Structure 1
Amino acid sequence: MAEYDAPVSPSVRPSLTDGLMTQILEIIRQGHLRHGDGLPTVRELAKRFSVTAPTVREALRGLQATGTVELRHGSGVYVGAGASRMVLANPHTTGITTEATLQLVEARLMIEPTIAMQAALHRTPENLDRLQAALATALQPRDDGQPEARLNFHRELAASSGNTVIYEVIDSLLAVRRREQREVRRVYDHRADYDQHVAIFEAVAGQDAERAGELTRAHLMEIRNAVASRLS
């Protein structure tokens, strides 16, 4: 039998789009560009890398999915907030299940009480302002099609910890499991959720780390029990 080289799976072989995404990332890195800085246009990128405009758009959409770039209609291409992140959410998720929702809450229960304690110790006036802004809109009707229109209390709590990686872990966890988060909101009483957030905020504002941790643990335990009851 003649020997031959096994073909490389298309899923393994780097694609033209993957290579282009890497080259665009190099533009950001070498140019020391930051969030909001402009990037070359689609036409300019196509000419620079000798590819077609649709190929450039496909690469940009891939980078947009992780927040690395922002495509602003009628304006251009800009560096996104995710360009410097060390932890990124996977934009391709599987279907929602009650079991997955329960695991999400349990994962948060493992880490968020400690985050709340750190937030109480390290929060800044700006952090408190953003936590208050998250509380201010919490009881308003929610449009899940416009998640950027409101602040998430737990994201802002993580930001208040002063640890960028921890913030990115929570941000990515909530982003990649957005559908499970909607399920949590559906099964858990909105008013109770708000009141518990207010109590956590007051502990953080008062720099009472132990109480902030205890309240966060109790809050997530109640959510866990509400989700778990649906499995019974």
Structure 2
Amino acid sequence: MDESLPAATQPTAGTGNRSTRAQNAAFTPVRAKRGYEYIVEQVRDAIHSGRFRPGDQLPTEREMAEAFKVSRHGVREAIRGLESNGLVEVRLGVLGGIFVREGDPRTVTRALSDLASLGAFSSESLLEARILLSSDVLRLACERATKDDLQRLEDDIVVVENLVAEPGAERTSHLTEFYRLLAAATHNEVLVALTDSLAQIVHARLNRAAAPPNPDIGRIRRNILNYIRERDAEHAVEEITQHLTQLEHTLLAAEQSRRAQGGVGAR
């Protein structure tokens, strides 16, 4: 018996080879990372650590290829990845180059939308998240909303009422603006990004299922706005919870109908 092995790992008579084979089957060979993956990691780390800040210009493709000891093709592949993730932008022309982008909350929206389109989120989880997030947004909006915030919400409601009133009205992206304005009234940019992301996911599902706009949407939003004006957070939360729950029921019914017809619907 090998004294260097703990007792628990010592092979037993007649089972040693089978046990070893079973253990080895749980492992896969180590694969080295490709060059562009190292570049992406190092550039991302440099941005996160503050060595490169928004607006800063990165070294040229040639300079990075020399520094990383990789081909320029590998550098281009890394830059494309960083660009698609919203970390850098490539500018053309005499004053062009590779620059660190300003923070863009739409990157969060795109990432979550991609996950949703791949079926990463259940409809139950999405509804729960929207209700929880919207409830906190409304409570803060009741505390922090300014006259300008309230006026922007009022103006948006008028626009939506006119859109829904048009014969044969179709669902447009403007219908999600109300949720962004609610979040903006909290004066918390993180809540704005998260609220907009979830609203866009639901909007995409509604479009795929061909669900018509709710004709009562103006009245519901006016009720919410009036509660905010009165600083009545609990009634505002109750109103939006009922609305989002009913919206999800309508959406699920539309998706089921779409699938039954053989159309392209959401999962």
- Could you state the TM-score of these two structures normalised by the residue count of structure 1? 0.65
Return the offset for 1:26.
Answer: 3.3
Q: Is the 8 A contact 1:134 1:152 kept in 2?
A: yes
Return structure 1 stretches of 4+ with deviation > 6 angstroms: 1-5, 85-88, 140-144
Partner Cα distance (2:237, 2:224) in 1: 8
- The CA distance in 2 between the partners of 1:87 and 1:15, in whole Å, is 28
1:120 aligns with 2:142: yes
Structure 1 gaps, min length 5: none
Q: What is the root-mean-square deviation in Å for CA atoms of aligned residues? A: 4.5
Please report how far the alpha carbon of residue 213 of structure 1 lies from its aligned counterpart in structure 2 after TM superposition. Answer: 1.4
The alpha-carbon distance between structure 1 residues 72 and 205, as it changes in their structure 2 partners (threshold 3 A), is: farther
Deviation at 1:217, TM superposition (A): 1.3
State the Cα deviation string for residues 5-47 of structure 1 (Å, max 9, x = none): 8412x5xx5443332222222343323624xx24326535445
Of the structure 1 ranges 107-116 and 196-205, higher mean CA displacement relative to structure 2 is found in 196-205
Letter in 2 for 1:16: G
Distance 1:165 1:223, change over 3 A: same
Question: In the superposition, relative to structure 1, how do residues 33 and 175 fare at CA in structure 2: closer, same or farther (>3 Å)?
Answer: farther
CA contact (8 A) 2:171 2:213 kept: no
2:79 is the alignment partner of 1:60: yes
After superposition, what is the alpha-carbon deviation per residue over 1:55-108, rounded to whole angstroms, capped at 9, x for unaligned? 33433333344433344565553414249x9999356436477x9456533431
Tell me, yes or no, if the aligned pair for 1:158 and 1:166 is still in contact at 8 Å: yes
User: Cα 1:91–1:225, aligned 2, differ >3 Å: closer, same or farther?
Assistant: closer
Q: 1:18 aligns with which of 32, 37, 48?
A: 37
1:31 and 2:51 are equivalent in the alignment:
yes
Q: What amino acid maps onto 2:53 in structure 1?
A: L
Q: How far is 1:137 from its partner?
A: 5.7
Give matches, 1:17-96, under 5 Å. 17-28=36-47, 29-31=49-51, 33-34=53-54, 37-40=55-58, 43=61, 45-71=64-90, 76=97, 77-82=99-104, 89-90=111-112, 92-93=114-115, 95=117
Is 1:207 matched up with 2:228? Answer: no
Q: Secondary structure at the match of 2:115?
A: coil
Quote the Cα distance in structure 2 between the aligned partners of 1:27 and 1:222: 46
Name the aligned partner's letter for residue 194 of structure 2. V
Structure 2 CA distance for partners of 1:67 and 1:208, relative to 1, 3 Å? farther
**Identity across the alignment (%):** 23
- 2:253 maps to which residue? 229
1:111 counterpart letter in structure 2: L
The 8 Å contact of residues 120 and 208 in structure 1, kept in 2 or not, is answered as yes
Tell me how far 1:223 sits from its aligned partner.
0.4
Q: What is the aligned length?
A: 221
Give distance in 2, aligned partners of 1:104 and 1:55.
38
**Distance across 1 between alignment mates of 2:91 and 2:225:** 35
Structure 1 residues 41 and 32, CA, compared in 2 at 3 Å: closer, same or farther? closer
Matches within 5 A, 1:90-169: 90=112, 92-93=114-115, 95=117, 100-101=122-123, 103-124=125-146, 127-128=149-150, 131=153, 135=157, 138=160, 139=163, 152-169=177-194
C-alpha deviation, 1:219, in angstroms: 1.8
* Residues 101 and 181, structure 1, Cα contact 8 Å, conserved in 2: no
Whichever of the two has the greater Rg, that structure is 2
Checking the alignment, whether the CA contact within 8 Å between 1:66 and 1:91 is kept in structure 2 is no
